[in-house]
């Protein structure tokens, strides 16, 4: 799960860094086991959905790998100007081949290491078409930003007494050119997820996704 080598903090990371991490994640799932790979690549405070919001590392702890892993491939990657934060999307297919959908994963680089901080899926989408190559859409670096795309993220909620995470969250890249937020609403645990990308003058709504619980 290593990103490409970054010479210094002031030098932008390659825009494909999160895609490299995604492909490494996929290989690890195939070679080491599905949940083993999820644990290995997850940030300590990553969240996922069951459909309730859960701390990924807590939910994954001790979970046995299934005999076969799900399959997934990135189709598009929205990347911050500095290349250190990205949101990957693409199709997924269950191990049985009977269920499919779209995954969305938020990645952040910590030095040379990439970790996912948000992972959510949407189903169904019908027959899966595997992308030959993922498209990269990178935020503009031009002009001075007037503020973050979403409200400043709250302090990271730590794992205290096994309490679950809140049913909402948000984040922003260090350079403020990419931001995201999500909220799980009642009834039915419907999840809403958005991504904002700086275009040089304003923020484009790159992803606006509503996921209904199965």
Supply 100's token pair.
Answer: 């499919």
CA–CA distance, 71 with 34 (Å, rounded to integer)? 10
* CB contact at 8 A, 83 and 76: no
Q: What is the pLDDT of residue 126?
A: 74
Task: Write the class of the CATH domain 17-211.
Answer: alpha beta
Spatial CB neighbours of 159, under 8 Å, sequence gap ≥ 6: 45, 55, 58
List the chain domain ranges. 17-211
Q: Is 162 exposed, middle or buried (0-12, 13-18, 19+ CB in 10 A)?
A: exposed
What does pTM read for this prediction?
A: 0.86
Report d(CA 104, CA 118) in Å as an integer: 8
Each of the 214 residues of the chain gets a pLDDT tens digit; together they read 323 222 333 345 567 899 999 999 999 999 999 999 999 999 999 999 988 889 999 999 999 999 999 999 999 999 999 999 999 999 999 999 888 999 999 999 988 899 999 999 887 767 888 999 999 999 999 876 767 676 554 444 444 445 567 788 888 999 999 999 988 887 668 899 999 999 998 899 999 999 886 6
Per the structure block, which two tokens stand in for 34? 């599905």
Distance CA 20, CA 185 (A): 33
> What is the per-residue pLDDT for 189?
81
Q: What pLDDT is stored for residue 162 in this prediction?
A: 52
| Residue 2 bridge partners (DSSP) | 113
């Amino acid at each position: 799960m290593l990103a490409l080598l970054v010479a210094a903090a002031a030098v932008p990371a390659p825009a494909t860094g999160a895609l490299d991490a995604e492909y490494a994640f996929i290989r690890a799932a195939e070679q080491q086991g599905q949940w083993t790979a999820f644990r290995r690549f997850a940030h300590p405070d990553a969240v996922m959905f069951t459909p309730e919001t859960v701390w990924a590392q807590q939910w994954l702890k001790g979970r046995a790998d299934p005999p076969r892993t799900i399959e997934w491939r990135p189709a598009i990657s929205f990347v911050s100007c500095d290349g250190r934060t990205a949101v990957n999307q693409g199709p997924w297919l269950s191990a049985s081949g009977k269920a499919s959908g779209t995954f969305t994963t938020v990645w952040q680089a910590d030095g040379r290491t990439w970790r996912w901080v948000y992972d959510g899926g949407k189903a169904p989408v019908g027959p899966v078409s595997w992308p030959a190559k993922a498209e990269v859409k990178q935020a503009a670096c031009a002009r001075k930003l007037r503020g973050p795309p979403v409200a400043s993220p709250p302090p990271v909620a730590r794992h205290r007494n096994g309490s679950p995470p809140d049913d909402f969250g948000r984040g922003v890249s260090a350079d403020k050119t990419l931001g995201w937020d999500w909220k799980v609403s009642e009834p039915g645990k419907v999840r809403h997820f958005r991504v904002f990308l700086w275009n040089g003058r304003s923020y484009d709504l790159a992803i606006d996704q509503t996921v209904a619980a199965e």
